[in-house]
């Protein structure tokens, strides 16, 4: 019988490991469970510095609106002088390409006819084309002598696609009211609903009262001349409103 020396402790441990490896167990197991994640309070990472958001760039302030007419204290106080000022005051210019057209008529007229702008082909006289023919025919039907009328435009030049909101914000309403005050008509016929906000009124047709520093006058508002020329129903409606308005006066 062959005799062998007893195994050392290291050899016994290696043999045990070989036995368990042959059995398919090559991991270390414990009966007591262990936490797989560290507690949050044990994390000792230094906090990351907060990233500062860049301050939004300030938008440049819009340029101040040019005040149409300049200083009101320097405006002419006589109608004739206003006509000259109307032809040369730079801030009134909205296009700069066409000739300016002055108002025409007499002060304290029986009826002032106010339109948005001159016609495209106007030269020396306001409303010298088909729109002027319409206005003359209207005055004749309304039994208002042309020499007892006053015809004016809100703008000194023909200005397609005029910025009416911008005109109001820039003070054109004050210029217009000053013009009407100097003309001092007995009645006012407004042909163009875009004009109404400049008079402090709603953009609509019909009768309204216009307050001025010297008192108040009645006005009748309707559509612009080019719209009246294109639509017979609008012309008929204006005529009915005129008859009703003058009947009550």
Output the domain CATH number for residue 184.
Answer: 3.40.470.10
Quick check: helix, strand or coil at residue 206?
A: strand
* β-strand partners of 207: 220
| Residue 92 confidence (pLDDT) above 80 | yes
pTM: 0.74
Is 8 inside any structural domain? no
Q: Is residue 68 part of a domain?
A: no
Q: Specify the number of domains making up the chain.
A: 1
Range of the domain at 182: 75-248
Strand pairing category for 206-212 and 149-153: unpaired
With beta carbons less than 8 A apart as the criterion, state whether 245 and 220 touch: yes
- Is 243 domain-assigned? yes
Is 174 inside any structural domain? yes
Residue 170 domain-assigned (yes or no): yes
In a domain, 185, yes or no: yes
Cα–Cα–Cα angle for 72, 74, 76, rounded to 5 degrees: 95
pLDDT band at 28 (very low <50, low <70, confident <90, very high): low
pLDDT in tens, 45-66: 666 666 667 676 677 666 566 7
Q: How far apart are the two ends of the chain, measured CA to CA in Å?
A: 150
């Amino acid at each position: 019988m062959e005799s062998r020396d007893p195994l050392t402790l290291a050899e016994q441990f290696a043999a045990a490991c070989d036995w368990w490896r042959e059995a398919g167990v090559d991991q270390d197991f414990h009966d007591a469970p262990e936490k797989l994640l560290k507690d949050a309070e044990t994390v000792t990472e230094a906090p990351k510095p907060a990233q500062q958001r860049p301050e939004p760039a300030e938008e440049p302030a819009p340029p101040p609106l040019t005040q149409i007419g300049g200083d009101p204290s320097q405006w002419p106080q006589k109608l004739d002088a206003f006509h000259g000022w109307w032809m040369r005051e730079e801030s009134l210019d909205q296009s700069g390409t066409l000739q300016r057209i002055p108002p025409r008529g007499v002060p304290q007229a029986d009826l002032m006819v106010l339109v948005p702008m001159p016609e495209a082909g106007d030269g020396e006289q306001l409303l010298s084309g088909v729109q002027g023919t319409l206005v003359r025919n209207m005055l004749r039907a309304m039994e208002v002598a042309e020499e007892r009328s006053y015809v004016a435009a809100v703008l000194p030049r023909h200005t397609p696609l005029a910025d009416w909101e911008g005109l109001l914000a820039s003070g054109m309403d004050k210029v217009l009211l000053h013009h009407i005050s100097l003309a001092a008509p007995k009645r006012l016929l407004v042909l163009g609903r875009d004009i109404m906000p400049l008079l402090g009124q709603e953009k609509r047709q019909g009768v309204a009262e216009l307050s001025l520093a010297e008192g108040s006058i009645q006005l009748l508002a309707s559509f612009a001349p080019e719209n009246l020329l294109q639509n017979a129903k609008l012309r008929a409606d204006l005529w009915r409103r005129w008859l009703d308005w003058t009947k009550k006066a």
